[in-house]
Chains A and B, each alone.
Chain A
Amino acid sequence: MLQAPPTKTQVRPHDVLVIGAGGAGLRAAIEAKIAGADVGLVCKSLLGKAHTVMAEGGVAAAMAHVAAADTWQIHFRDTMVGGKLLNNPRMAQLHAMEAPDRVRELEYWGAVFDRTADGRILQRPFGGHSHPRLAHVGDRTGLEMIRTLQDRAVALGIQVYMECTVTKLVTGHAGVSGAVGYWRTTGQPISFPARAVVLATGGIGKAYEVTSNSWEYSGDGQALAYEAGAELIDMEFVQFHPTGMVWPPGVRGLLVTEAVRGEGGILRNKDGQRFMWSYLPDERRDEYAATDEEAAQWVEALSSGQETAARRPPELSTRDNVARAIYTEVKEGRGSPHGGVFLDISYLPPETVRRKLPSMYEQFKELADVDITTGPMEVGPTTHYVMGGIKVDADTGRTAVAGLYAAGEVAGGMHGANRLGGNSLSDLLVFGARTGAAAAAFAADAAEPYMDPVQVQTAVGALGAPLERDEGDDPYAIQRDLQDLMQRLVGIFRLESDLDDALSGLAELRRRWATARASGGRTYNPGWNLVFELDHLLTVSEAIARSARQRTESRGAHSRLDYPATDDAHWGALNTVISRGLDGSMSVATAALPPMSDDLRGLLRSGDH
């Protein structure tokens, strides 16, 4: 670089600093602003590009527009059953109760959802949901949501810091006091003193080679919170979405929305067998159609907008189950030519497919030369979501660190051992709003934040270090090795010896990271930015591997080959808990699940649909 880069640290104080501008961060910022706080919203990308934009199928809320019998109680039960009862029950309750209002609020702010015949918000079926429940806009629901929230945030005049990476939280005896990061466009360091901080940074998918997640999903919030002294729970529960693209190589892992199955998509292996019939768990068998004919009746009723007594097709089993089924079919030699299985929606009229699934139609036509109205897609599992995350108080999103809050995917507990499709978009609305309000209330009573200069200086110094090294590992090489390791050793099926190998491999990668070298300058340097993301990815990867090793059973998305049974007696009411020891090393323990009230427990037993 010819011109000297700006290295003087900029200082921008706020009452509430929200880190991450996807759905949860935007919703938190809006609520905090409405509550009267001065809000700063920081995002690594441009506003409106966060991962929420990729959500396709819909937002789950028991509005009962399509199935009059749907209630929040049934949504609560579906969520708990889908999560193998490991969910924080209070979170699942609040989520089910408040999701309808949060969705209607989006409409009030300008969102234009698809409509029912009587002109209300339309809802579609999804895996594990007893009733059609997902409010949607074709298959681009996430775009509609993020644009609506973005417009609302702009209308409220919220201060947004775009393309700004946060690398450290600053803490003191009174809890969190702010954050330090840098502008990606200039490389200039920036310090945010804040009375309260909301983490809404999303997930961890970039720890894996095959993922539906973008580069931003590097576990930033989980790692920042862990280092600041918060706990991470249930990190072993990583959702492998059953249907990602498998071909061509450049799009491997790209999401194929569950809405394809929600609209009637059929999964077959290379022999033409509709294999999901053989993978339905016995205890839930009666919720699904008994025959191809009954499943076809259900699809027919759906497309004509009628209620039906026919039960849903087997493809609408929960994601953990469908992902394992596809993995098993491929592993046992019944996969498609490119190592997936076939997903077919082409038996529906072409105009229906194009209207209901417009972006899937485009995605396959433009990226894979496949016309999904005339033939099947090839799909296979892809790393999609982390159920585990920062341990929070259900009502407020408060963490163990005073003034530090978390909402959305970065927070743990809501989804238990497996998340139902559509529940993430409702999660980020419900808990984004709650957390934003709680953070604003905390900030209103909090003292002026004290930014410990030693911590700030150390964080600013660490920014420059990778650029100043004359030699060291290329961050891209470290990332490739990390993704390969996690994919091989901490994937869908786990084994203790693999997890031990993973932990020693991660320790070696951490050593290489400590001397990683970024070439080039400070202006919009992606290799340099990757160094800080690798720090976070290595922390969350270790948390996933340690938690996975700790949980000696199979449950939901966590499948142990050496412990294939679900062990309710020992593990049924235990969270794994990751925390940072005094010596800086990571420790793993267990803690009892938050208790469930008798009222809620009663809802789990009731069998009415």
Chain B
Amino acid sequence: MPDAHLKVFRGSPGTEGRFDEFDVPVEEGMVVLDALHWIQGHAAPDLAVRWNCKAAKCGSCGAEVDGRPSLTCKTRLSDFDLEQPITVEPMRAFPLIRDLVTDVSWNYEVNKTIAPFTPPDDVPQEDWRWQQEDVERVQEYRKCIECFLCQDVCHVLRNHETERPFMGPRFLVRTAGLEMHPIDQADRREYLKDSGGIGYCNITKCCTEVCPEHIKITDNAIIPLKERVADKYYDPIQWVWDRVRGGRSGGAKAGMELPMLHGSPPPDQAPD
């Protein structure tokens, strides 16, 4: 089998980035992460790569392979024309740490602002009975492995183009999993609208396309949440009803502001 030719981004913030080139011997069934490990073990021991399970279950090894946000552990070399170089770059939406590793801590800060699961006070747990078909939609959201590829590809986050924060597809999926849980009692619609910036999503579905878990992010999570928000704020009957009832409020953890994602993308040096 011929060697694969990889062009791998190297660099740190404040330094001039570059693409180092490596010829990697190819075995059958090899994935891009295998090639990166070969490089670490034989050519560049300090190549920074974040990974854990190597089985597409932990979501650590996201990078941009030939420009496409991908899990490197499930991106097969056999899907590429090995006559051509394969370019591997870090996720561009997040600040660079070094080489292929980016600072994704912003995501963890966003997560803290979402009101947690809120079970009812008046229904004892022994009486929680749900049918499988009732939980399957929630289980779809909970398949998320937090690879943040959807955040990376989302143009709202990637281009840093909004003045107010946007939580991004990953946390819309997480919120959907809470909002549509059979017995959750919290109402996160105000949070979604005002803090989460759900209105910024203009449903281009790029997130759905890159999701390695095949979660239908736009259709099954974001659009239903947008409808719920619209019902609350823009449906006059619902608006009056909420006023009469007093409404369930909140949805954000008290006193927590959603932070902005500030990018520091690596130097924009095209792989020649």
Interface residues of A (CB under 8 A from B): 1-3, 45-51, 53-54, 104, 107-110, 112, 114-115, 118-120, 122, 137-138, 140, 142-144, 147, 151-152, 154-155, 162, 185, 214-216, 247-251, 254-255, 359, 362-363, 366-369, 474-476, 480, 518-521, 523-528
Contacts and interface: CB of A to CB of B under 8 A. Distances in A.
A249 B28 CA distance: 7
Given A3-B14, A250-B34, 14 more contacts: A1-B12, A2-B14, A45-B60, A46-B108, A47-B108, A115-B135, A119-B128, A140-B143, A142-B57, A247-B29, A250-B30, A366-B74, A475-B45, A520-B46
B28 A154 contact: no
B77 to A, nearest CB: 9
A273 B57 CA distance: 33
B259 interface: no
Contacts of B14: 2-3
A6 to B, nearest CB: 13
Given A112-B138, A521-B46, A54 B40 contact: no
B129 A120 contact: yes
A526 B132 contact: no
A112 B28 contact: no
A177 B14 CA distance: 38
Nearest to A110: B117
Contact of A527 (B46, B60, B143): B46
Contact of B12 (A367, A368, A523): A523
- The binding surface of chain A is classed by DSSP as loop
Interface stretch (B47-55, B80-88, B198-206, B218-226): B47-55
Nearest to B27: A249
Nearest to B129: A119
Contacts of B125: 104, 107-108
A366 B72 CA distance: 12
A474 B108 CA distance: 35
B41 interface: yes
A47 B128 CA distance: 30
Contacts of A523: 12, 48, 97-98
B132 A518 contact: no
Contacts of B135: 112, 114-115
B156 interface: no
B111 interface: yes
A476 to B, nearest CB: 4
A359 B125 CA distance: 29
Interface in B76-120: 76, 97-99, 101, 103-105, 108, 111-112, 116-117, 119
Interface in B28-73: 28-31, 34, 40-42, 45-60
B130 A49 contact: no
B111 to A, nearest CB: 6
B41 A476 contact: yes
Highest count of chain A CB atoms <10 Å: which of B54, B119, B129, B138: B54
19 contacts: A2-B14, A3-B12, A46-B60, A50-B52, A53-B52, A54-B57, A107-B128, A112-B142, A112-B181, A118-B129, A120-B129, A151-B117, A185-B103, A214-B51, A369-B29, A476-B45, A523-B12, A526-B45, A526-B47
A107 B117 CA distance: 10
B194 to A, nearest CB: 21
Nearest to B146: A48
A53 B54 CA distance: 12
A115 B132 contact: yes
Contacts of B128: 107, 119
Contacts of B29: 247-251, 367-369
Interface in B128-152: 128-132, 135, 138-139, 142-143, 145-146
Given A108-B125, A526-B45, A251 B59 contact: no
A49 B46 contact: no
A143 B48 contact: no
Given A53-B53, A249-B29, A363-B56, A110 B104 contact: no
Nearest to B145: A143
Contacts of B181: 110, 112
A49 B143 contact: no
B55 A251 contact: yes
B15 interface: yes
Contacts of B60: 45-46, 49
Contacts of B252: none
Contact of B52 (A49, A108, A247, A518): A49
Nearest to B119: A108
A114 B132 contact: yes
Contact of B30 (A122, A249, A525): A249
Nearest to A363: B55
Contacts of B142: 112, 137, 143-144, 147
Nearest to B118: A110
5 residue pairs, one from A and one from B, having the closest CB atoms = A248-B29, A520-B46, A119-B129, A110-B117, A527-B45
B45 A519 contact: yes
B178 interface: yes
Contacts of A366: 56, 74, 76
Contacts of B15: 2
A367 B74 contact: yes
A521 B34 CA distance: 23
Contacts of B143: 140, 143
Nearest to A212: B55
Nearest to A111: B142
A485 B112 CA distance: 45
A114 B105 CA distance: 31
Contact of B57 (A3, A155, A359, A475): A359
Contacts of B99: 524
